[in-house]
Every structure is written in C-alpha cells, then in structure tokens.
A and B are shown apart, each in its own frame.
Chain A
C-alpha cells in the first residue's frame, strides 16, 4: 500500500511539475505570473473533445489538442501581453486575470456551463498487477509523460541556441538583447513552451478526470502557482521540485489524515508552504539573477 501511495504521489507531482514549469518559464523571462495558464489547459481539453467528436483517432486528437494549447499561448502573448510589454508587474498580473475571466465566460456561454464528458479509451482505465499491488494505466502514463517532457525541455534548454538564449534571458534579458537576439522571439518561444506544457498537463488532467468544464483551469493554476513559489519563482528546477513536493504532501496527507482532520488538508498544505518560505524566502532552489548596481 505504501508503494501504491508513492506511485500516486509521483503521478500527481509530475502533473503539478509540468504546470509549474509552464508558469516558471514565462515568469523567468517576462516577470509575469500568467494566471490564464489554466485556461490554456481548458482550451486544450475542449480541443481534445472536439477532435474526438469529429472522429479523429486518439493520438491525432491528443496532438491537435496539445498544439492548440501551444498556439493559444502564443496568440495570448501577441494579443494581450505584447501591448503591455514593459508595464508594471501589477498591470501584467491584472491583464492575465482579465484574460482568464474573459476566456472562462467565453467557454461558459459559447460551449456550455455543464462539464462535457470525455470518454477515455477503455485501456486508459485498465490496470496491471505486480505481485500483490496494481498500477493503473492512467497514473503510469502520467509519470512517463511528465518524465519525458521534463527531459525534452532540459535538452532543448541546454543544447539549442534558442534554449541557451532563453536561459541567458532569464538571468539578464538586457544583455541577451545586446547580443543581437530578438526579444520578441525569446518571449514568443517562452509562451509557446508554456502552452505546450499546459497542453500536455491538460491531457493528463483530463485523462484522470474524464470531463472538461469551463472552470477546470482554476485549481491547476493555483497549484502550479504554489509549486512555483515554493520552488523559487522563476527557477525552472525549482518549479519541478515544488511540483513534486506539493504532489507528495497532498497525497501523503490524504492517505494518512484521520477523517476528522481531513477537511483541513488544504489548510495544512498551505501552512507547510508558509513554513518552507520562512526558512527559505527565495524558495527551495532560488532563481539566478544578474546583480547590477
């Protein structure tokens, strides 16, 4: 049973890590916490549903859905955030809230306020047994996809020119621009990556929840925000660490708390976050920033 709970924790932590990474990539470059990140997930979810309804095979539908998330992120940057470039952190934050609310209302009025069922293929709800404990196919896929996405992102950031430029931009954007790298390209790539991650996370999320609804982005973006803050805002390894930590704590508490205290789970998790920040105010793995006087 303990082994089972560890798998549960890693599976949930992986999804949180993907989400937190999406937030962190954008934050590291533009200094914006994009609260409309959750709506990118919702959009990917609806794109998956639409593709399945149109009769696309499952892998194609997933591909379409993830691409939709990525393109929507780029479009979001182009339409909402680019005109605000250079604005204060508060203005950017409010813009992201505005985009988030607007999209929620569009989903609600344009599609339906009612959650739409996404019937997953039968094998997704299967499970395979090892000795006396069983692993669900869903959580296994979740763990594998999160791991692959994290590795692919790491390779991209380490090995490609754009990736290197992005890492440099996170440390000192002005110097990167002086080196002749176009700012718009870096920012657009950051949003593209965050959209890709949101799309992937949405697939895992929907696979576990079997429905999409207009408000489904709210909880994940909140969890991602907490994970990113605990990990160290703007730090990519921090976001991953924060995501896994949050997933593990949540599953651990859910598994062990006695019934009477269980409803206070979220309060206990958030108290833990405060405790971490008191000891390490910059987060678990603080972001590296160039210091200029």
Chain B
C-alpha cells in the first residue's frame, strides 16, 4: 500500500522536523529519580507527597520544564518501606541517569539513599522526612523539605507552655528517629521554659498492647497534665483507645504524622489532640487554591499537607534550576542551599544559613469533633529550637 507508505514517510519527516523545531526551545531532559514507598508502612506518607510532586512537575513540564528549559522525566521505584531496598532502588535510579533524587518520608531510608548520592554530588530531597539529624548524617547534598522535628516540637512546646501546662509525660519509641527524638526535643524546650518532665515511657512500633505503660502512667506519683508522643498510625490509635479505655483523660499532643484522615476518623477518641502541619488553608490563601487545584488534578482532596509539601519540592527544584542556569547537579545543589525567603504555597521557605533543614512556618492544629481545627501558625524563635 504505497499511499499509506508515503503517508508514513511524511509523518516521519514531520516528526523529525517537529523535534528539530522543538529542540531549539527545549531539547533537554532532566531525570528525577524517586525512591519512594508504594507499599509498606511508609506508603501512606510517601504516596500523598509524591502525588503533590507529580502535579507540580506535570505543570512545570507544560511550561517547558524545570527553569522553563529542562523537561522532567520522573522515574519512580518502590522501596517497599525497607531501608536496604531503598539503597538498591536509589542505585538503579542513579544508573538510569537521575540528576536529582527524591527519598522517602523517613530519615533511615533517606540516609541509606543519601550514602549513594553524596559521593556523586546528586542533590537529594526527602519527601517529608523531618528528623533534623538527617541532613548532617548524609552531607551537603541532603535536604529536608518539611518543618524539622525540633522546630515542630518547639512550636508544640511553646503552645503547651502558653496554655499553662506544667508537667509532661514523654512517650517515645527507639524504633525510628522520629518517634525517638521528637518528644525529647519537646521535653528540652518545655523544661527550659519552666515545665517539668515527670515520666518517660517507651513502646515498640507495632506493639499490640499499651496497657502496662498506661498503668504506669496512672500510677505516677506526680500526675502529668500532658502526654507528648510522636507515635503515629497504627500505634497512635491503639494508644489512644487503650488510654481512654483505662479511664485516663490527660490530654495527648503529637506532631505532623497524626495529621491524617485515619486519625481524624477516630472522632471523639482524639478530641483535644494537638498536632502540627506544614500549613493551614485559610480562606483566600494560596494553600486553599492549591487544595482546589489538587482535587481537580487527582480526583480527591488532599489528605494532609504532605501533598502541598510535595508540590513545593517541585517549585523549589524549578527555582534552583533557574538560578543554576544548568542541569548540573552540583549547581542545582548550591542553588537550593542558597534559597532565601522563597515564596512557597504555605509560606516563605529558607535554606540559606540552615543545616539544609528549611526554616518555614508550622501550623498548630487541634482535633475537635472529628475535624482538624486551626489553632495558630508560627515560626518558632530559632534561639529556642534545640540542637539536633
């Protein structure tokens, strides 16, 4: 069928010329590797964040790519929420040519991926890993994006002190950096501002039974007026259920990891629980507009602020490539490290002068009647924030 053949050739010619025509505008592609959990315990955190990132990259690609110049090709591989598997897929992504690496919402797998990207100088950003020790453990290519644990803890402690709380019980788990350190940061600030730590308890993640720990809390001679923990699902619902079930009504405060639909759906059980978030969608705010746009993009409303945080990672990368003026990983790294008062969706984001954990606002929220109510948004005083 010659006519069809000719047609093919014509199409081929058009395609070739088309590409040539485009190539003057943007022939370049930049590969971003995303080593993130699609399965396992981190998946509920990584997936929303990744959805936000994809949205921003899709939008940026429609405008020509990062810095208007480099079309992004996002390669995603599943880490199965496993630290060793994260290193394996990070290596695969590096081999595939990734010039920027995105890592899971937790310090330990992010560090394992960072060990591989650090010697190559590939800028690496964790989706919502918030342990401030994370960047120091890897080196100058590693960036946090979410408000750091010590910053969040300071915000919650400031609030607790302002409410007149005096005595706190800290519930930690040595199983992750987040659950081990965040309540301790809280304790440091709380003590410095006149509060007292009247007891400490530990749990193992996935532990079925909190009754012994709860009985210990009930038996404390010096009764706490607050319990601070960084436990998250499924441990946090279990702890709350058993705590309230044992007749203990002491308020419980936590941090960002309990700002999820699961915890919200617990209803009355979590009434009064204070937690943190990367932002709050006030009417007319950029975040409210983002939430509407995301709902249109994904077909469902954002579950938390992890989506907007992922979206902001895309904006940060865009700005960094613009500043760097190239796709050289080292230049991009330097540009991210130099960001100052960058206008994000949730507020101003600054890396300059930090240990690559950003300075950015923290929103305090409180569950009431199955809804997360905004309490206040603040940037804690840098002098109050305890060292990692």
Q: Any chain B CB within 8 A of the CB of A91?
A: no
- Closest Cβ neighbor of A133 among chain B residues: B218
Interface residues of A in 184-231 (CB under 8 A from B): 205, 207-211, 213, 215-216, 218-220, 223
The answer to whether B237 and A8 have CB atoms under 8 Å apart is no
- Closest Cβ neighbor of A122 among chain B residues: B268
The answer to whether B242 and A115 have CB atoms under 8 Å apart is no
A8 is contacted by which of B202, B211, B241, B260 (Cβ under 8 Å)?
A: B211
State the Cβ distance, B194 to closest chain A Cβ, in Å: 24
B200 is contacted by which of A116, A136, A211, A259 (Cβ under 8 Å)?
A: A259
The answer to whether B233 and A115 have CB atoms under 8 Å apart is yes
Name, among B237, B266, B303, the residue most crowded by chain A CB atoms within 10 Å (CB to CB): B237
Instruction: Kindly state the separation between the CA atoms of A105 and B206 in the bound complex, as whole angstroms.
Output: 19
The answer to whether B215 and A4 have CB atoms under 8 Å apart is yes
Query: With a CB–CB cut-off of 8 A, which chain A residues contact B245?
Result: 124-127, 136-139, 208
The answer to whether A127 and B247 have CB atoms under 8 Å apart is yes
Q: Any chain B CB within 8 A of the CB of A120?
A: yes
Query: With a CB–CB cut-off of 8 A, which chain B residues contact A112?
Result: 44
A136 is contacted by which of B212, B247, B261 (Cβ under 8 Å)?
A: B247
Interface residues of A in 91-130 (CB under 8 A from B): 105, 108, 112-117, 119-120, 122, 124-127, 129
Q: Any chain A CB within 8 A of the CB of B238?
A: yes
Query: With a CB–CB cut-off of 8 A, which chain A residues contact B215?
Result: 1, 4-5, 8, 255
Q: Any chain B CB within 8 A of the CB of A265?
A: yes
Q: Any chain A CB within 8 A of the CB of B265?
A: yes
Instruction: Kindly state the separation between the CA atoms of A113 and B263 in the bound complex, as whole angstroms.
Output: 14
- Closest Cβ neighbor of B47 among chain A residues: A113
Instruction: Kindly state the separation between the CA atoms of A219 and B238 in the bound complex, as whole angstroms.
Output: 14
Q: Any chain B CB within 8 A of the CB of A266?
A: yes
- Closest Cβ neighbor of B267 among chain A residues: A119
State the Cβ distance, B190 to closest chain A Cβ, in Å: 18
Query: With a CB–CB cut-off of 8 A, which chain B residues contact A209?
Result: 208, 234, 237-238, 241
In this complex, how many residues of chain A approach chain B with their Cβ under 8 Å: the count is 52
The answer to whether B208 and A139 have CB atoms under 8 Å apart is no
Q: Interface readout for B289-316 with A: 1 if CB under 8 Å, 0 if not?
A: 0000000000000010000000000000
- Closest Cβ neighbor of A264 among chain B residues: B174
Interface residues of B in 218-265 (CB under 8 A from A): 218-219, 233-234, 237-238, 240-242, 244-247, 260-265
Binding stretch for chain A, among B35-43, B108-116, B274-282, B343-351: B35-43
Q: Any chain B CB within 8 A of the CB of A12?
A: yes
Interface residues of B in 160-213 (CB under 8 A from A): 174, 200-202, 204, 206-209, 211-213
Known: A8-B215, A116-B265. A220 touches B242 (CB 8 A): no
Interface residues of A in 236-293 (CB under 8 A from B): 247, 250-252, 254-255, 259, 262-263, 265-266
The answer to whether B242 and A127 have CB atoms under 8 Å apart is no
Interface, chain B (partner A; CB < 8 A) = 38-41, 43-44, 47, 174, 200-202, 204, 206-209, 211-213, 215-216, 218-219, 233-234, 237-238, 240-242, 244-247, 260-269, 303
Interface, chain A (partner B; CB < 8 A) = 1, 4-5, 8, 11-12, 15, 105, 108, 112-117, 119-120, 122, 124-127, 129, 134, 136-139, 205, 207-211, 213, 215-216, 218-220, 223, 247, 250-252, 254-255, 259, 262-263, 265-266
Write 10 A-B pairs (CB below 8 A) sorted by A numbering: A113-B44, A117-B237, A207-B241, A209-B234, A210-B238, A211-B234, A211-B237, A215-B41, A263-B202, A265-B204
